[in-house]
A and B are shown apart, each in its own frame.
Chain A
Amino acid sequence: MVQYKLAPLDAAFAALSDATRRGVLEQLGHGECSITALAVRFNMTLTGIKKHISILEQAGLVVTEKTGRVRTCRLGPGRLEDEAAWIERYRQRWALRFDALDDIIDELKQGEGQNVGSE
C-alpha cells in the first residue's frame, strides 16, 4: 500500500514511520553503503531492502548511485528535515483539534453552556 502521490512531508513521515528505514538512515549516517551490505546488515532479502530504499529515496532521505554492478546508498538532501517534518505533523494534529475547540468556545460564550452537549 505505497502511495506515490504523497506530499513531501507525508513521504518523509511515511518513510520514517518504519524501524528498519530509520535504521538504514542511521547506518548511512556513518557513511555510504551498498544495497547488498544493507540487506546483510538488516537481515533482509535484497528485494525487501530495495523496497525500503525506494521509499526513502522518494522522500528525498536517501540517494542511490549505480557504479558497475553495485548500487551505493547515501543520505539525501531531505535528512535535515526529519525532526522538523515530524514536529510539523504533530503541530497539525493539535491545530485541527484546537480549531474545533474554537468553535465550541464560541458556542459556550454565546450560550452560557446551555445545550452544547453532543447533539
Chain B
Amino acid sequence: MKKVLKTYPDKCIACHVCESACANLYFRIDDPERSCIRITETAKLPEMNVCNQCETCVAACPTLALTITPQGVVMVTKKLCIGCYMCVAICPTGSMQTYHGGMHPFKCIACGVCTKSCPVEAIRIVQE
C-alpha cells in the first residue's frame, strides 16, 4: 500500500490555501514557490501538481539521497543531497520542486497538512 496525495481538480477553487499551508510547514514562509503542491489556474479546471510517489527520481539520484519509506513515500535526505537536480529533470510529473536561491530539491511527502487546510476537500491522503 502506498501513501499518496490524491487531487480532485473538479472540486478545487484555486484558493491556494494548500500552498500556503505546505510552504509554512516546510519553510516557515508563506511563499507559493516553496510549496510542494502547486495550483495553476487555467481557463478550465485548476491544475493541481503534486508528487504521485512514482519513484522515477529514486533511480536517478547519484548519492542515494532519495529513498522510499515503508509507506511508499519518496523522501529527500538533505544530508546526502548534492543539489544536482537530476531528479528535478527526470520527474515525469514535474513535481520535484526547486526555489529561487535554494540548494536542494524538495517534494511532497504526503504529510497531509494541505488536506487539513483545504476548504473543499479537493486533496486527500489515500492508500493506493
A is bound by B = no
